[in-house]
Amino acid sequence: MSELTPLHAIGEFALINRLKKKVHTAQASTVLGIGDDAAILAPAAGQEVVVTTDLLVEGIHFDLSFCPLRHLGYKAVAVNVSDVAAMNATPTQIVVGLAAPSRFTVEAVEELYEGMRLACEAYGVDLVGGDTTSSRAGLVIAVTALGQVAAGQAVRRSGGQPTDILCVSGDLGGAYLGLQVLEREKQVFLADPEAQPELDNYEYVVQRQLRPEARLDIIHELRELGVTPTSMIDISDGLASEVMHLCAASGTGARLFSEFIPMANPTLEAAAEFNLDPITCALNGGEDYELLFTIPVADHAKIKNHPDITVIGHLTEQSDAVNLIAKGGQAVPLQAQGWTAF
């Protein structure tokens, strides 16, 4: 095994040059990428630019004892692409800010950026700049993503109307159960460093936690179906929280039916093993990065046969509040108990 290189041995600019060699731009709107004081972008005529930023902080958003650096790099890009997709926009560029502690080596940073490169390739995004510095605490990653959308076609949280159908992509709760598995295996390791992690039966939920995918595919497919959501948000903090965000912004209530919330079999199996209610995991777990959106009733026929879109309820008048409808028909006021930043 070759000797690892301390970051201080090569310095910031040499590190940037090493990382730059593996970065290639493909977007027509990227005029100049890494290498100058700033990138130069030229959005196409008739397009609007959307911008979003996410911070990932060690000990808060991730645990390096069970999160591989390549997966972390991929996830850092994916969560930002997810926010761009939630605006009905196409991601085009990202810039990355990185603060690394002294224990990190050049090779570790390159592994992190390899994950970012793979995500950029998967989503058709250009990495065009950023900044690197040292950290006296843990690793901090700040990604800013830019995207483009036809003028007037961005979808906000505030466009929902009473009677609109409430839809979700994919399945929910898996990322939260994956975190439970990883936390359990960490405790086993701390008690017995010779123990090997047992993850073979949990591949699906662990993958949902460590390497989520932004649902850019759903945005493209909705366009092909001729469907423009009236409101939309990505599910980062739990389904309950996101439904309430949409309703608050749109000035509506909602009826969310628990029996229609989509969950994969591996998620249900893991929930049973941990003695957790799977509906609670879906409502409050977060980090699924699926899309929650509303469409007019008239568009239902266009999406009803889509294999990866589920109708889970509908919006109502604001006076009706936001309710979870149990299988027996009982209405329970929905409460957001998912992730909070502070």
| 177-213: pLDDT as tens digits | 999 999 999 998 888 887 777 788 899 999 999 999 9
Tokens of 247: 């309703």
- Is the predicted pLDDT of residue 53 greater than 50, yes or no? yes
Q: Are 229 and 294 spatial neighbours (Cβ–Cβ below 8 Å)?
A: yes
Task: Report the percent of the chain where pLDDT is more than 70.
Answer: 98
Q: H/E/C letters for each residue in the chain?
A: CCCCCEHHHCHHHHHHHHHHCCCCCCCCCEEECECECCCEECCCCCEEEEEEEEEEEECCCECCCCCCHHHHHHHHHHHHHHHHHCCCCEEEEEEEEEEECCCCEHHHHHHHHHHHHHHHHHHCCEEEEEEEEECCCCCEEEEEEEEEEECCCCCCHHHCCCCCEEEEECCCCHHHHHHHHHHHHHHHHHHCCCCCCCCHHHHHHHHHHHCCCCCHHHHHHHHHHCCCCCEEEECCCCHHHHHHHHHHHHCEEEEEEHHHCCCCHHHHHHHHHCCCCHHHHHHHCCCCCCEEEEECHHHHHHHCCCCCEEEEEEEEEHHHCEEEECCCCCEEECCCCCCCCC
For residues 61 and 140, what is the distance between their CA atoms, to the nearest angstrom?
10
For residues 294 and 165, what is the distance between their CA atoms, to the nearest angstrom?
5
* Mean of all residue pLDDT scores within the chain: 93
Please tell me the predicted confidence (pLDDT) of residue 279: 96
Q: Are 314 and 164 spatial neighbours (Cβ–Cβ below 8 Å)?
A: yes
Q: Which CATH class is domain 7-150?
A: alpha beta
Please tell me the predicted confidence (pLDDT) of residue 231: 98
Least confident range of 128-137, 223-232, 241-250, 328-337: 328-337
Provide the 10 A C-beta neighbour count for residue 301.
Answer: 9
Higher pLDDT pick, 188 / 330: 330
pLDDT digits (tens, 9 = 90+) for 160-183: 999 999 999 999 999 999 999 999
- The topology (CATH level 3) of 157-333 is Phosphoribosyl-aminoimidazole Synthetase; Chain A, domain 2 (3.90.650)
Residues of the chain with CATH 3.90.650.10: 157-333
Tokens of 269: 């199996």
- Is the predicted pLDDT of residue 32 greater than 60, yes or no? yes
Q: What average pLDDT does this structure show over 30-49? A: 90
Q: What average pLDDT does this structure show over 52-71? A: 95
Q: What average pLDDT does this structure show over 66-87? A: 97
Please tell me the predicted confidence (pLDDT) of residue 338: 59
Q: What average pLDDT does this structure show over 235-260? A: 97
Chain centre distance of CA 50: 16
Residues of the chain with CATH 3.30.1330.10: 7-150
Q: What average pLDDT does this structure show over 267-295? A: 96
Please tell me the predicted confidence (pLDDT) of residue 39: 86
Provide the 10 A C-beta neighbour count for residue 333.
Answer: 8
Please tell me the predicted confidence (pLDDT) of residue 342: 41
Q: What average pLDDT does this structure show over 244-252? A: 97
Q: What average pLDDT does this structure show over 8-16? A: 77
